[in-house]
Structure 1
Amino acid sequence: MDEKEGLIHQNASGKILTRIWVQLFIFKMLSGFQSEMSSVNDGQYIYHFVKQHLLNYTLTNGSTVSTENRSMEIESCQSGNKSSNFLESKAQSEATTINQYSEMISSGISVVIMIVLGPMTDRIGRKFLLVWNVSMLLIGMSVRTFVVYNSLDVYLVLVSSVFNGLSGTHYTYDLASSGIMADTTSKDKQRSFVMILYTSANGIGFFIAQIITGYSIHYFGFIPQYFMCAGILLILDLSIVIFLKEQRPKPAKHNVKVCSVSLKSQIWSMITDADIGNRKHIFSWLFVFILLKLAGTAYSPISNLYKLGWPFCWSSERIGWYGAGLSIAECIFAPLIIAILQRCTPDEIILQVCNLSSIVSYMAYGLAMHSWMLYTVIGIGVIGDSGETMITAILSRKVSPDKQGVLFSNMAVLDSAVRVVGVAAFSDVYKQTRPIFKGMVFLVMGGLVLLSSLMALFFTCIYGCDPAQKLWKKHEINVEITNENKNVVNS
């Protein structure tokens, strides 16, 4: 087998590969849409639930925020007096704690799920993981919808976090999808570019979800979004079962004992299997991956709370439009910029550019005192999130073609474990430093990205860039002078 080709890429026609990629992009768009809608809806629902209970408002049928109450909240926030600041700090602290518990429960359980199911993806197939993930998310969303619709205690939403954890969260979904992309792409620039497009499909889903969620909260409250998310998950589950075909050949059946031994070997194969690739290079880049992921674990929930509070006091519509602008910039301009950079420089250098974009955007967030300063992040951070994709592509090229599932599953386990630590740490940093300096947590995040960038640069200098990448074609002319007639032969 040519190591530059994926397992399926060698024998599949262009039409088949295109159909597979289109299916993945559409499914990811739907998945990203419901994921972002749920995330934005949850964050604002919890914040307003807590704040209005502190103000002794009555919540009924999940609407939770009337126009009058929302206007009073914004006026109270914008006043900036001592009383409103105390209320704001208390609401922010409690909402951050609930989000922290929710993330830790789901991520903690997902670590176990990924340890069990993740390394077996090369054996049980990618489709099974996708169906499992979406089905568990559907159950969790149904539980959350029931809690919000009946205006039960907000802490009961943590029950749905258990099912989110059992699904493996988005790690299982991205693991299976990354495995399919690795199977159907070559190891050169095609793989990293397809992964960037896959991320862009997620961004398109984010863009649409942000706008719809902002206005839907304003006019209808929080309930419609939960029903919409549950419906999308049901459609996505059925679509995967019906339309997506398993591409990997089915392995021979084994008895329980053999499967148990195989599972153990799969879990530890990153350490014990000499055929997986250069383990020194792999572990070095995994360390860079951990640092970069740690920086962004709690960014989304904290940034939304940050914008809801003083001095910004944004409404749900404004948060929606801001998130939509950021998403569309990332899904349109990020792939274009990456594609241009890939024509003349390797992924290891592109990673440094992405990290620089991320660092500057974190600094702008942390030092912002006016809303216009937050808008600059849309421009300067346009390729900031692409760094994780570049590391994934770099690692994928360093691993044998038949071990891609093992790589992605181990990365997902690390990602989930890092998320537990990151959410706990950054949530506490935000709660403790907010009364002193509201944006401190974002400066800490930027510092971690800087450390990750320095380590990546160090490993690039030591190991060099992967020769499998294709840049501008270089034509070499070999000149040979024969001893007999001194003729010059060009080849």
Structure 2
Amino acid sequence: MEDDNIHCGRETEPLIKDGGDHNIVPGSQQKMQIRRLFLVSLILFLHGGSGAIHSPLMSQYLYLRYSEEYFPNSTFPERKTSHSECVANSTAMESNLQKEVQREATNLNMQLTLATSIPAIFTNLFLGAYSDYFGRRFLFMTMMVGRLTRDLTTVAIIVWNLDLHYFFIGYGADGLCGSSFTFYLAGYAYTADITPPAKVRTVALAVVDAARGIADISLHIATGYLIKMYGYLYPSVGMAAMTLLDFLVVVTLLPETVKRSGTCISPITAIKNVFGFYFRKTSTGNRDLFWICIIVFLFNMIDKHGTVNIENLYMLSPPFCWDSVRLGLYGALKDGVYYFSSVVIIKALHVCTTDGVVGIIGFMSAAASKLIEGLAFVDWMLYLVPVVGVASSAISPALRAILSRMVPAEEQGAIFTSMSVVEAVCDAVGSTALNVVYEATLSVMRGAAFLIMAASKIVAIVLLTVFVFKTRSRVVPPKDNLCVQGRDDQGISDEEQQ
């Protein structure tokens, strides 16, 4: 039966038709829509810029507030401005207090993350499940309402020095509206809508990620200097302004890619559509391929979301004692290497290999970089981390492209929703687990969380190797439309696609 098969978009049946200013009709044109790719890249640029301000701002602001509590007699340069309470050669009492500051900041960061990610799991599930029927724009707009609430709450807390627990209002609203998981679900699904299901889709997804990288580089540096010179208010206002501008771009400029369906499916059917890929019985037995891909994706996302908060605290504390400027410069270096290298690496490796092998190379690079980060004790070792991990930038676009090509055009929203839900779960579980590990090992081995992530990369390498061998040896029956790494029903392999 047709429901029992996983369909694959073919290069002879292109995914997108350019309808000018009208809706794009899946399955009617081969060429990538450059103008729409530029628009979605701009939208992700603005969102990435807001996020690039938020992450270091929150880590340092929480560190400041708890430092004021534990070091009440300390002379700060100015209320609400950047400082360094960290002293590498401190007394035993000061060292213990510094660890308490880290523990308090880590705990609140973890709680705020859970306040966002837990409701976001369910929001993403339902919003994403209906995106193939109602379109992508409403996902962008819904998420931005919650994000703007979080940003304005942050501004209010900084201006009036409110209790830190007021952050839960903004973070909760952000989670209920889907948070960044919904945003990137919409962005990646939109990109899949406007690209044919060949290797060009992998490159397009990397280009969209690179747009975020440009924002990360510039805003990381600017945020570091702004915090050092003026404090936390200006960066927080800039963060909210970028979110508002992003919302206006979506409302006024972004065309829809999905025609609104006249009938609406039930919630149960919508959820089944999202997870059906992993449970649907097929004559070709391809469920195992979906499972391998999503588990490997999970390992990648646990690291990406789980270490983001502890990494800043790791560098703020001894033996590094970095200030906001050095954190900003390092963040710019790391994101610049990561995002800009992804397009180049993917294009270079596509000459001679598949997305599966690209992912394996990326995980090897990531494992080595996490090992160095976990064992670092001097600054130059931290600067070596993004250099060694340069190929890890190709992991996410490669995995998203593989899964995207394994489903037909009308199910792009569903497959990206399944990835988005997994990503939200990783944010909740990964950040909680790694924050707990970081807090528990502060006195023993501060880099233990990074070493655990290095070990997880090795597991991902093994699984992805199994995937590559399975897809190379699998014979596609002529009556089935199983798509593996871009094969169509004529037996065109991923290596042969242009």
Normalised to the residue count of structure 2, the TM-score between the two structures is 0.88
Work out which of the residue numbers 54, 63, 71 in structure 1 matches 2:70: 54
Match for residue 403 of structure 2?
395
Work out which of the residue numbers 19, 40, 57 in structure 1 matches 2:35: 19
1:426-470 per-residue CA deviation (whole Å, 9 max, x = no partner) reads 101000111111111100111111111111112222232635355
Letter in 1 for 2:360: Q
Report deviation, 1:3: 2.5
Change (3 A) 1:50 1:262: same
Work out which of the residue numbers 149, 156, 164 in structure 2 matches 1:154: 164
Change (3 A) 1:106 1:59: farther
Report deviation, 1:58: 9.1
Change (3 A) 1:413 1:83: same
| Cα contact 2:149–2:173 (8 A) shared by 1 | yes
Work out which of the residue numbers 46, 49, 65 in structure 2 matches 1:30: 46
Work out which of the residue numbers 207, 215, 227 in structure 2 matches 1:217: 227
Change (3 A) 1:47 1:378: same
1:246-287 per-residue CA deviation (whole Å, 9 max, x = no partner) reads 122221145xxx544643543553356569993332122112
SS at 1:383 equivalent:
helix
Match for residue 270 of structure 1?
277
CA distance in 2, matches of 1:366, 1:275: 43
CA distance in 1, matches of 2:38, 2:94: 50
Match for residue 379 of structure 1?
387
CA distance in 2, matches of 1:182, 1:154: 40
Match for residue 437 of structure 2?
429
Letter in 1 for 2:314: Y
Worse-matched range after superposition: 259-268 or 157-166: 259-268
Letter in 2 for 1:270: F
Q: Is structure 2 residue 337 aligned with structure 1 residue 318? A: no
1:318-350 per-residue CA deviation (whole Å, 9 max, x = no partner) reads 110111111122232232122111111111111
SS at 2:214 equivalent:
helix
Letter in 1 for 2:369: S
Match for residue 15 of structure 2?
6
Change (3 A) 1:455 1:58: same
SS at 1:406 equivalent:
helix
CA distance in 1, matches of 2:29, 2:58: 42
Change (3 A) 1:332 1:131: same
Report deviation, 1:415: 1.3
Report deviation, 1:410: 1.2
Worse-matched range after superposition: 120-129 or 156-165: 156-165
Q: Is structure 2 residue 216 aligned with structure 1 residue 197? A: no
Match for residue 483 of structure 1?
none
CA distance in 1, matches of 2:278, 2:416: 14
Q: Is structure 2 residue 188 aligned with structure 1 residue 178? A: yes
CA distance in 2, matches of 1:403, 1:275: 17
Alignment of 1:283-362 (within 5 A): 283-362=291-370
CA distance in 1, matches of 2:269, 2:16: 21
Change (3 A) 1:438 1:473: closer
Change (3 A) 1:319 1:252: same
1:169-206 per-residue CA deviation (whole Å, 9 max, x = no partner) reads 11111111111111111111100010011111111111
Match for residue 116 of structure 1?
126
CA distance in 2, matches of 1:363, 1:299: 13
Change (3 A) 1:394 1:309: same
CA distance in 1, matches of 2:486, 2:119: 39
CA distance in 1, matches of 2:382, 2:276: 44
Match for residue 478 of structure 1?
none
| Cα contact 2:147–2:243 (8 A) shared by 1 | yes
Q: Is structure 2 residue 245 aligned with structure 1 residue 235? A: yes
Normalised to the residue count of structure 1, the TM-score between the two structures is 0.89
Change (3 A) 1:266 1:279: same
| Cα contact 1:276–1:399 (8 A) shared by 2 | no
Change (3 A) 1:89 1:113: same
Letter in 1 for 2:410: D
| Cα contact 1:211–1:321 (8 A) shared by 2 | yes
Match for residue 79 of structure 1?
89
SS at 1:384 equivalent:
helix
Change (3 A) 1:227 1:460: same
SS at 2:377 equivalent:
coil
Letter in 1 for 2:55: S
Report deviation, 1:225: 1.1
Report deviation, 1:154: 1.6
| Cα contact 1:31–1:202 (8 A) shared by 2 | yes
Match for residue 106 of structure 2?
96
| Cα contact 2:339–2:393 (8 A) shared by 1 | no
Change (3 A) 1:354 1:110: same
Letter in 1 for 2:50: Q
1:400-423 per-residue CA deviation (whole Å, 9 max, x = no partner) reads 221111111111111111221111
Q: Which runs of 5+ in 2 are unaligned?
A: 1-7, 18-25, 473-483, 488-492
Q: CA RMSD in A?
A: 2.4
